[in-house]
Chain A
């Protein structure tokens, strides 16, 4: 799952740095992801994992790190 998350972050996150250098718990917004880019990341994750983020999860915390995204996806794909 992490590899897919990082591929999506690379393709849609518009980071000014190599995503591979960002730690799992590092703040993605502090690393350069904009709010608009996070929308694209969200839509790409939904496509990849065939799910939809509920409105209640649409906050910065859900997308603030690779770990946070993995946790959110695990909860949604398990239900």
Chain B
């Protein structure tokens, strides 16, 4: 088995109305268990707009998990954060066990893209993985691999 540099990709989608239902049913307990203060603050406005933003962030957390590939204990939801920048683009910030998993896997920065339309929110997370022991073969120094489906 050889090692090299690979790309890990994770994608996920979440139905916006399911997030709205969770907020209606569990309120702050749901929000504070899953999202960081920054994520909640980033998703203000009308409830339907807030739910769409939060659904996209949940999808991003799931997509990041597909990149991090935990085999047992899962990182806390709040340790995988979507940071929204003033220009409107987003990046991912990891802390705690999620950051440990990224370090162990030799992952660089996690890039993220969010979208929502017609009641569905989706996210894609991509990261470069250095010296990936799971890299079976490679073209040059680069291998493309997909981690999980929708």
Contacts and interface: CB of A to CB of B under 8 A. Distances in A.
Given A35-B62, A43-B26, A43-B33, A58 B19 contact: no
Interface SS majority for chain B: helix
A36 B73 contact: no
A46 B109 CA distance: 35
Contacts of A43: 22, 25-26, 29-30, 33
A21 interface: no
Given A35-B62, A39-B34, A55 B22 contact: no
A37 B21 CA distance: 11
Nearest to B27: A43
B45 interface: no
Interface string B62-85: 100000001011101100000000
Contacts of B122: none
A15 to B, nearest CB: 13
Contacts of B26: 40, 43-44
B18 A37 contact: yes
A56 interface: yes
A47 B117 CA distance: 33
B74 A40 contact: no
Contacts of B72: 59, 61
Contacts of A4: none
Interface of A: 12, 14, 35-37, 39-40, 43-44, 46, 55-56, 58-61
Given A36-B14, A40-B30, A43-B26, 15 more contacts: A35-B62, A36-B18, A36-B58, A39-B22, A39-B77, A40-B21, A40-B25, A43-B29, A43-B30, A44-B26, A46-B29, A56-B73, A58-B73, A60-B74, A61-B72
